[in-house]
Every structure is written in C-alpha cells, then in structure tokens.
Amino acid sequence: MSKDAFSATSACNNATLRRAARKLGQFYDDAVAPAGLKATQQGLLYQIHAGGEPAMGEIAAALIMDLSALGHTLKPLIRDGYVETFNDRQDRRIRRIRLTKAGEKKLAEVMQLWLVAQRRLEDLIGAEKAKRLRTALDEIARLDLGGAPAP
C-alpha cells in the first residue's frame, strides 16, 4: 500500500476503527489461545459470569449483537460444556444462560491469560491512554447512530 493510500484510509473513522479492532482482536486471540478459546468467547464467558444468569437478549444487547450472532458464538461453548441455556422460571419464552462448573474453571484459566495481555497492552500504550480509549469507545457504543445517513 502506498503511503498516500494509507493516509487516505486513516481519514475514515470506520476504516481506522476496523483496522485497530482487527489488530487488537488478533492480539487478544493469540493471548487466550492456550486456553483453547477466542477472545470473543472469553468476553462472552465473562459477560455471563458478571450477569449471573442473564437472559440471552440482555447479553446480546450488552454486546451490541443480534441473537443469531450470539447463538453462533455460544454454540461451541455449549458443546464444550462451559455454558448452558435454560428457560426463565417466570417467563418460559425467555432463555437464560449460565456458566457450568467447567465454564467457571475455564473462565478462571482464560482470565489469567487475558490479564497478562491487558497488562502488556497497557505497558505498550500506557494505562491512561488505554483508559481514555475504553471511555471513548464506550461513549461511541452508547450513541444512537440511527442507521445510514441520508444522502
């Protein structure tokens, strides 16, 4: 890629964000690989743990993903016995999810690997810059962007 082409992509918020997301995704995937998981699975296990026995819709909303994408990400975790789904006691239409004992053990293992990666990244870019980045990205994630802009 020529220097001019690279600087042209750097002016696009979307392209810059996607490049950074791919770079960070690879970094965290490599870090948690010894546990046999991807970073997205680690994050999902953590969200389930933090939520107790959250409804599938709650997890999907928290991760800003649709239910079918959540189901796709959950399949290997269910298959491997780390999570289980069940019907809500008050409303059987609502599916809930929880960690199994194996899932709790796997989460503890993968969080140790994640912590090393988290510290390494913060050593590389600085803890304060990492915190500002998370804050800025959280603010963007909360925006109501309302779909495609009008031409």
133 pLDDT higher than 60: yes
Domain 13-142 has CATH 3.30.1370.30: no
pTM attached to this predicted model: 0.84
CB-CB contact of 73 with 79 (8 Å) = no
1 pLDDT higher than 60: no
For residues 11-18, average pLDDT: 88
If DSSP states are collapsed to H, E and C, what string results for 59-109?
HHHHCCCCHHHHHHHHHHHHHCCCEEEEECCCCCCCEEEEECHHHHHHHHH
Q: Per-domain residue ranges for the chain?
A: 13-142
Distance, C-alpha 23 to centroid of its chain: 14
Amino acid residing at 131: K
Which pLDDT does position 6 carry in this prediction? 58
Q: How far apart are CA 62 and CA 71, in angstroms?
A: 14
3-state secondary structure of 11: coil
pLDDT tens for 56-76 read: 999 999 888 999 999 999 999
5 pLDDT higher than 60: no
Q: Which of 137, 109, 36, 119 is nearest to 79 (CA)?
A: 36
φ, ψ (nearest 5 deg) of residue 88: -60, 140
Average pLDDT, the chain: 91
Amino acid residing at 143: L
Q: How far apart are CA 99 and CA 81, in angstroms?
A: 9
2 pLDDT higher than 70: no
3-state secondary structure of 55: strand
